[in-house]
Structure 1
Amino acid sequence: MHVYLLYPDQNDDPNQPPPPQAEELLRDLALAPIIITMANGDQFIATTVQRVLLNSLTDVNHIAYRQAALQDCLRHPEVIRELYHIPVQAFELKRKRWLGLFGMHYPSSILSEARAMLVAYFDLLKALRRLADQYGAAFQSPAFSRFFTMIQQELGDDYLAEIAYHLRQLSFRDGMLASAGLGRGNEPGDYVLCKPNQPQKNWLQRLVDPTPSYAYTLPPKDEAGSRILGDLRDRSLNVAADAVAQAATHVESFFKALQRELAFYIGCLNLAERLNELHMPVAFPEPLPLTQRHFACQGLYDLSLALTTQQPVVGNDIDAGGKALFVITGANQGGKSTFLRSAGIAQLLMQCGMFVPAISFSANICSGVFTHYKREEDATMNSGKFDEELARMSTIIDQLQPHALILLNESFAATNEQEGSEIARQIIGALLDSQIKVVFVTHLYDFARGWWRMQRVDTIFLRAERQADGSRTFKLRVAEPQATSYGTDLYYQVFGEAEQVASDESAAV
């Protein structure tokens, strides 16, 4: 049986390697609060969610498949949680009873443990069937419709009854019946496990039954005979033990796949419930093909910031159309880096089939998401800060493919204005020529102003708003870059209005 809840044609691969920039994405986009909220204290969910989140889908149809499944989950959260509890129970039972085939060497031991595993899983398979019968018709997505139909077909009443029958027979309550033949040199061979005899006859039936029967009782202290009898038993059980072990392994693999794929949806439910408590909107995005440049959002907010502060945060409305370069300038602490992070998070969430933190969101799929954020000075002093920036950029460029997305946060600012601007011009120009989408938060006015004068149709300029009184709205607007980032506003916030008055008087003199 296949689960196919995350992909239309395959089960989730738990050994899927992370993308090359996984650690940078986790740090620069501050994904930890999102993963922690989704996990809600469950380490298995945390591991699964992080892997699925970082390994983006690049097929619009696959994203739509997962979005439809998640919408089903949001409509029936209690059913999904009950469904997830079934594989969790399976492995809890296995752990408590120390069930497992690892380390078993004798067919009799393998058969005994495999049967015990199947007995433990049997009631859970029946519970799975009951859920499919009760709720399957209410699910509309291709993923869950196929899954529940498969459960009803594969775990039909006749099949479950047959499983129960064979599990009873494999307990050998009335002994084990086997046959063997004599081969060359009168060595025994052709061992076959036979169906058990009819139930024992009573004394009257045995008295009138003319059929002779023969029996031999092994003496209690006959150790050699006991070993020989054990060897005969194991030889007879070998084929059956292998078949039952394979059946137990198959059921266990099914439960493992079911737990992994449902863990992602449980994480989504946990996140949706928390955002609902914070009264923050979510929307299912519209993914567009790789080659169709597009970006538009309404009320897009920083999900990580909302979960960290536990309160609503300001969203942005941007319609960039088919632009390939976003140049973001403006006031310090005006929301530039926050928007950059929100755009990266939304892209990752969209490409793993989730809802996004916005009223609406649409963008083209990217072949990969990369970040290049400023770092602190190298504590080991092995290289300068600017050298380290360029080395990281070189590593990223080696990993880029056409139609990737790269988020730059104050890159190339570790050197002087003129040199940093020239390097930014050359690198960003090369990225655009290579069909890379770039979002660049910068204080390099020489670069921003020079690029503005070029009037390129593939570029949009956004500026963080600043009110006349110096306050920030934390919103971005389409506007040309300015020569100042209003750092004095922050100075006066720290040192107070007295310093501002003194500064104004001094300027007047």
Structure 2
Amino acid sequence: MAGIVSILDSDVGGVACAEASNECLADLHLDRIIAAVIAGHDDGNLTRIFSTPLREVAAVRYRQQVFRDLEADETRLAIEDFADGMRAVRNRLHTAANVWHPLQQQGWLIAAIESYCEAVLLLADQLFCVRPRSSALRKIAQHVTRYAEGETFGCLVAETQSLRERLGDIRYLVHIDGLRVRVESYSERADYSSAVAETFARFTADFGKDYRVNLPEFKDMNHVEEQILVCVSELYPDVFAMLSDFCRRHAEFVEPNIARFEHEIQFYLSYLAFMGRFGETGLTFSYPEVTDEPGNATAEDVFDLALALKTLKEDRSPVPNSFALSGRERIFVVTGPNQGGKTTLARTIGQCAYLASLGCPVPAGSSRLTLPDQIFTHFERQEEVSTLHGKLDDELVRIHDILSRATGSSIIIMNESFSSTTADDALLIGGEVLERIIALNCIAVYVTFIDELSTLDPACVSMVGEVAEHDPTHRTFRFSRRPADGRAYAAALAEKYGLTHELLKRRVAQ
């Protein structure tokens, strides 16, 4: 049999990737996105896959090819049929593990093996018909074909069918006399069932009331059913000995690469199903052009996926934005009025980079992104009394840790950092931090209320949150690449403290 075949990574034996930090996932609301994606799909492994970004461009493209294959309905439906079949296998194995009686356990096991054989044969036939283009699905198609045509699987199918036929040929009689039940071998007797049905057929009417009661079905047998089954096994010892031997030899019947494919394909199917929820919103997903060249962060019509998920039931959509770096530019300095979408833009850029590093389509019309080795976030935290540090101390400790671990391939996202201190101190500290980031030559997003930081260095790009032209208190949630002028922020402050022109006129009039 061939070696390990994975549809998540072409280099299965390569260097293991580290999971993203919980702080990063929470700050960027990626934890909410992942929870929504895997809902109804999680087999215990999906969370780990979605929490482990890739570090190689080739690995990202490997996954993108699979996603492109699965966009074709014929290919996706074929694999969904296989996934449904394997889900039935797992359900029957779960039942077998939880029923009490050994003979019933054996019955559920052979049922699971039957479902498994059907799912594998169907997958082999359908993958041969759809001819996938991605190298990952081609490998799987070749492996499944070889396995389905191999001696091991052929013997499993033949033996399962033969045993099922032997079990199906069993006939027995049950005599019920009060509380006494007797089981004996079947002998030819008159069959009165058709005569009884014909006799009572004259009393049926289409408009008659249905007095039948739906009885609940229990997985476990009751004590009477158990004793009947034991008696039947004693009447046909050879058949049940074959069943016992079959179950002993095939307790682990799922081929390792088939099992791996079943788990890994859920990564793709769950994300595609998640994307499908936005089909009628007008929001678009696309495959980012991922590169290992430094300084690439460009996207058109990008939106916050967590916000889009939240507004999905509200018949509205988030406002899309665009951003771009070129040449020596590395840092987006985001300014604008409070509640104007600055944090949302920062999260959007981080989400885009993270989802791209998973090999997934990203929430954007188009994008070109440098594949990060790590995404660091520096968001506001609640002050903890137990640490005996002030809020500013804690922020400085965290940013020092980030800067000591970041590389030129990292992304750093800072949101309203150092806002707990004075404006002069925030300018001084922010300038020092930006200088360190510029020296690292990595991509960064810096959300701030200090406009001066946007002109610190040519590496800084000013992104300004816009307000309505005739009403500076109305946020548009759109961002433009232009110098920060502070007017929008000043207008927001005036509104906050009741110092706008209209409010002052009312006060004077009073």
Q: Is the 8 Å Cα contact of residues 289 and 369 (structure 2) preserved in structure 1?
A: yes
1:144 aligns with 137
1:190 aligns with none
**What displacement does 1:387 show?**
0.9
**What displacement does 1:68 show?**
0.9
Cα distance between partner residues in 1 of 2:41 and 2:62: 26
Please point out which of 341, 347, 354 is paired with 1:348: 354
Aligned AA (1:133):
D
In the alignment, structure 1 residue 25 sits paired with structure 2 residue 28: no
Cα distance between partner residues in 1 of 2:106 and 2:344: 54
Instruction: Mark the CA change 1:422 to 1:508 in structure 2 (over 3 Å): closer, same or farther.
Output: farther
What is the TM-score normalised by the length of structure 1? 0.73
Q: Is the 8 Å Cα contact of residues 116 and 254 (structure 2) preserved in structure 1?
A: no
Identity of aligned residues (%): 23
Please point out which of 113, 124, 129 is paired with 1:121: 113
**What displacement does 1:255 show?**
4.8
Instruction: Mark the CA change 1:16 to 1:319 in structure 2 (over 3 Å): closer, same or farther.
Output: closer
Cα distance between partner residues in 1 of 2:423 and 2:332: 20
Cα distance between partner residues in 1 of 2:490 and 2:117: 64
Q: Name which of structure 1's ranges 478-487 and 427-436 shifts more when overlaid on structure 2.
A: 478-487
Deviations 1:185-216 (A, max 9, x none): xxxxxxxxxxxxxxxxxxxxxxxxxxxxxxxx
Aligned AA (2:67):
L
Please point out which of 435, 438, 441 is paired with 2:441: 435
1:6 aligns with 8
Cα distance between partner residues in 2 of 1:253 and 1:99: 23
1:54 aligns with 51
DSSP 3-state at the match of 1:374 = coil
Aligned AA (1:309):
T
Q: Following superposition of structure 1 onto structure 2, how do residues 419-430 of structure 1 map, counting pairs within 5 Å?
A: 419-430=425-436
Cα distance between partner residues in 2 of 1:11 and 1:256: 18
Cα distance between partner residues in 2 of 1:390 and 1:158: 65
Q: Is the 8 Å Cα contact of residues 68 and 141 (structure 1) preserved in structure 2?
A: yes
Instruction: Mark the CA change 1:41 to 1:170 in structure 2 (over 3 Å): closer, same or farther.
Output: closer
DSSP 3-state at the match of 1:465 = strand
1:486 aligns with 489
Cα distance between partner residues in 2 of 1:133 and 1:380: 62
Q: Following superposition of structure 1 onto structure 2, how do residues 149-164 of structure 1 map, counting pairs within 5 Å?
A: 149-156=142-149, 159-164=152-157
Q: Name which of structure 1's ranges 126-135 and 23-32 shifts more when overlaid on structure 2.
A: 126-135
Q: Is the 8 Å Cα contact of residues 295 and 325 (structure 2) preserved in structure 1?
A: no
Instruction: Mark the CA change 1:348 to 1:247 in structure 2 (over 3 Å): closer, same or farther.
Output: farther
Q: Name which of structure 1's ranges 436-445 and 389-398 shifts more when overlaid on structure 2.
A: 389-398
Cα distance between partner residues in 2 of 1:168 and 1:302: 53
Q: Following superposition of structure 1 onto structure 2, how do residues 202-281 of structure 1 map, counting pairs within 5 Å?
A: 248-249=251-252, 251=254, 253-281=256-284
In the alignment, structure 1 residue 417 sits paired with structure 2 residue 423: yes
Instruction: Mark the CA change 1:508 to 1:494 in structure 2 (over 3 Å): closer, same or farther.
Output: closer
Q: Is the 8 Å Cα contact of residues 285 and 365 (structure 2) preserved in structure 1?
A: yes
Q: Is the 8 Å Cα contact of residues 330 and 443 (structure 2) preserved in structure 1?
A: yes
Instruction: Mark the CA change 1:125 to 1:395 in structure 2 (over 3 Å): closer, same or farther.
Output: farther
2:38 aligns with 39
Aligned AA (2:323):
I
Q: Name which of structure 1's ranges 483-492 and 385-394 shifts more when overlaid on structure 2.
A: 483-492
In the alignment, structure 1 residue 474 sits paired with structure 2 residue 473: no
Please point out which of 303, 306, 314 is paired with 2:305: 303
What is the TM-score normalised by the length of structure 2? 0.73
Aligned AA (2:92):
L
Cα distance between partner residues in 1 of 2:406 and 2:110: 48
Aligned AA (1:57):
L
Cα distance between partner residues in 2 of 1:507 and 1:460: 42
1:225 aligns with none
Q: Following superposition of structure 1 onto structure 2, how do residues 397-412 of structure 1 map, counting pairs within 5 Å?
A: 397-412=403-418
Identify unmatched segments of 5+ residues in structure 1: 101-108, 174-240
Q: Is the 8 Å Cα contact of residues 445 and 482 (structure 1) preserved in structure 2?
A: yes
Instruction: Mark the CA change 1:36 to 1:96 in structure 2 (over 3 Å): closer, same or farther.
Output: same
Instruction: Mark the CA change 1:256 to 1:127 in structure 2 (over 3 Å): closer, same or farther.
Output: closer
Q: Following superposition of structure 1 onto structure 2, how do residues 95-110 of structure 1 map, counting pairs within 5 Å?
A: 95-98=94-97
Q: Is the 8 Å Cα contact of residues 54 and 348 (structure 1) preserved in structure 2?
A: no
Aligned AA (2:297):
F
2:205 aligns with none
Aligned AA (2:482):
A
Aligned AA (2:463):
L
2:218 aligns with none
Cα distance between partner residues in 2 of 1:167 and 1:79: 24
Q: Is the 8 Å Cα contact of residues 96 and 105 (structure 2) preserved in structure 1?
A: no
Cα distance between partner residues in 2 of 1:168 and 1:478: 69
1:462 aligns with 463
Q: Is the 8 Å Cα contact of residues 41 and 266 (structure 2) preserved in structure 1?
A: no
Instruction: Mark the CA change 1:387 to 1:119 in structure 2 (over 3 Å): closer, same or farther.
Output: same
Q: Is the 8 Å Cα contact of residues 411 and 442 (structure 1) preserved in structure 2?
A: yes
Cα distance between partner residues in 2 of 1:360 and 1:317: 10
Q: Is the 8 Å Cα contact of residues 49 and 264 (structure 1) preserved in structure 2?
A: yes
Cα distance between partner residues in 2 of 1:74 and 1:379: 51
In the alignment, structure 1 residue 320 sits paired with structure 2 residue 325: yes
Instruction: Mark the CA change 1:163 to 1:119 in structure 2 (over 3 Å): closer, same or farther.
Output: farther
Q: Is the 8 Å Cα contact of residues 38 and 49 (structure 1) preserved in structure 2?
A: no
Instruction: Mark the CA change 1:489 to 1:168 in structure 2 (over 3 Å): closer, same or farther.
Output: closer
Q: Is the 8 Å Cα contact of residues 37 and 270 (structure 1) preserved in structure 2?
A: no
**What displacement does 1:256 show?**
3.9
**What displacement does 1:246 show?**
8.8
Instruction: Mark the CA change 1:273 to 1:35 in structure 2 (over 3 Å): closer, same or farther.
Output: same
